[in-house]
């Protein structure tokens, strides 16, 4: 099943996990630590109150700085990550979360394409639709992670959140290494 199909079929929790996982993997671009989004992950559990999502989100936005682009240094990848954070809905409801998850999917794939030294001749839409032949490795791995997050949450509900978080942590480590290598290359 394509990523587009998985997003279309996902429930509210799956969509929130999908968008959050994309943002989580891109946290190194925002200067956040590995635990910065943990409270939002906790808000997706069975015992959580969806009404707490907005307040938690506001606290995290405050810690990561405003999404005004002032400190992105003209870096498109950083700007896209800031937009993901800025676009996160204040309420964790199906329609709002669906739009955010879809936008985060596109933005995160674009970030990974920007950071991958290999060019990708295909469009992001074609990649999300399942055409992955000759896809650059960094972006291909991101696509697989997005699919995995949606599949484990769809298959296991709140019980799949741990695996979704593990997938996100793995991707964050990879992106942190890429960002670090890129920063060293600019010096």
| Cα 73 from chain centroid (whole Å) | 21
Read off the tokens for 26.
Answer: 């891109």
Read off the tokens for 32.
Answer: 């956040």
Residue 109 has pLDDT above 50, yes or no: yes
Element (H or E) spanning 118, and its range?
A: none
Residue 71 has pLDDT above 70, yes or no: no
Residue 167 has pLDDT above 90, yes or no: yes
Work out whether the CA dihedral 145, 146, 152, 157 comes out positive or negative.
positive
Tell me, what's the pLDDT at 69? 47
pLDDT tens per residue, range 11-67: 999 999 999 999 999 999 999 999 999 999 999 999 888 899 999 999 999 999 854
pLDDT tens per residue, range 117-148: 899 999 999 999 999 899 999 999 999 999 99
The count of C-alpha atoms lying within 13 angstroms of the C-alpha of 88, restricted to the half-sphere facing its C-beta, is 27
Confidence of residue 73 (pLDDT cuts 50, 70, 90): low
Element (H or E) spanning 130, and its range?
A: none
Q: What is the pTM of this model?
A: 0.93
Read off the tokens for 132.
Answer: 């992955």
For residues 123 and 42, what is the distance between their CA atoms, to the nearest angstrom? 34
Confidence of residue 182 (pLDDT cuts 50, 70, 90): confident
Residue 88 has pLDDT above 90, yes or no: yes
């Amino acid at each position: 099943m394509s990523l587009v199909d998985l997003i279309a079929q996902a429930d509210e929790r799956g969509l929130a996990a999908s968008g959050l996982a994309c943002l989580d993997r891109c946290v190194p671009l925002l200067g956040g630590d590995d635990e910065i989004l943990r409270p939002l992950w906790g808000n997706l559990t069975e015992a959580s109150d969806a009404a707490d999502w907005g307040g938690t989100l506001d606290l995290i936005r405050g810690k990561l700085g405003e999404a005004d682009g002032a400190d992105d240094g003209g870096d498109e990848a950083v700007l896209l990550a800031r937009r993901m954070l800025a676009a996160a809905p204040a309420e964790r409801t199906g329609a709002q979360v669906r739009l955010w998850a879809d936008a985060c999917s596109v933005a995160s794939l674009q970030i990974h394409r920007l950071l991958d030294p290999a060019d990708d001749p295909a469009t992001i839409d074609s990649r999300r639709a399942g055409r992955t032949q000759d896809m650059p490795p960094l972006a291909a791995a991101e696509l697989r992670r997005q699919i995995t997050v949606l599949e484990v949450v769809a298959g296991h509900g709140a019980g799949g959140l741990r695996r979704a978080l593990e997938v996100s942590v793995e991707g964050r480590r990879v992106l942190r290494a890429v960002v670090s290598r890129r920063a060293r290359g600019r010096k």
